[in-house]
Structure 1
């Protein structure tokens, strides 16, 4: 099985790599993105995921791509879910093993 390794929540990246260096508050970013302030506050607090809508808005504002934000979210989701279900996933045979067992 492929290990996905450590992953960082996209809210931490947004906070530490964008908001802090640019001296932007979540409220200010929310105004620029035309979203409720709570959306950005919850994201930078790592309480909520990046949604496609938020990824599109962040990409436009920071001149990145929506895929940049969504890939971070997907990597984080896979790493955290994989850690929680590690034993359950390990118990699944791959296709070749399942055919041999049949």
Structure 2
């Protein structure tokens, strides 16, 4: 089964907001009072949506900053999971108390 590629927040910005409303990159940048390069890099998936940009987008489009941050966070988490899941699974053990250690008298300590 083919895995669906994670969707960058910039793709949502472009496909669901800018194109349907006929907003150019330059017009959006001007309205948000940011450099056009910032919008260009976001829609071309070369830059993340930051908290600052999320606040500006939420004001302009009338939605929440959390909407934009959640899109970005979900994308970053999926990309990182795809890249590092196997490595993390092999390096990090489950906390012993989660493996049924609550009822016994063995007190587990994590030592570094």
- Shorter-chain TM-score above 0.5: yes
- The answer to whether residue 79 in structure 2 is matched with residue 54 in structure 1 is no
Q: CA RMSD in A?
A: 1.7
Alpha-carbon distance in 2 for matches of 1:61, 1:6: 28
Aligned residues: 95
1:24-35 equivalences in 2 (<5 Å):
24-35=23-34
Q: Which runs of 4+ in 1 moved over 6 A?
A: none
Alpha-carbon distance in 1 for matches of 2:25, 2:9: 14
Q: CA deviation at 1:65?
A: 0.4
Alpha-carbon distance in 1 for matches of 2:36, 2:56: 14
- The answer to whether residue 5 in structure 2 is matched with residue 13 in structure 1 is no
1:1-102 equivalences in 2 (<5 Å):
7-91=6-90, 92-96=92-96
Q: Which has the higher helix share?
A: 1
Q: CA deviation at 1:6?
A: 5.5
Alpha-carbon distance in 1 for matches of 2:72, 2:23: 22
2:104 aligns with none
Q: CA deviation at 1:7?
A: 3.1
Give the TM-score of the pair, scaled to structure 1.
Answer: 0.87
Alpha-carbon distance in 1 for matches of 2:88, 2:7: 22
Greater relative contact order, per chain length (Cα 8 Å cut-off, separation 6+): 1
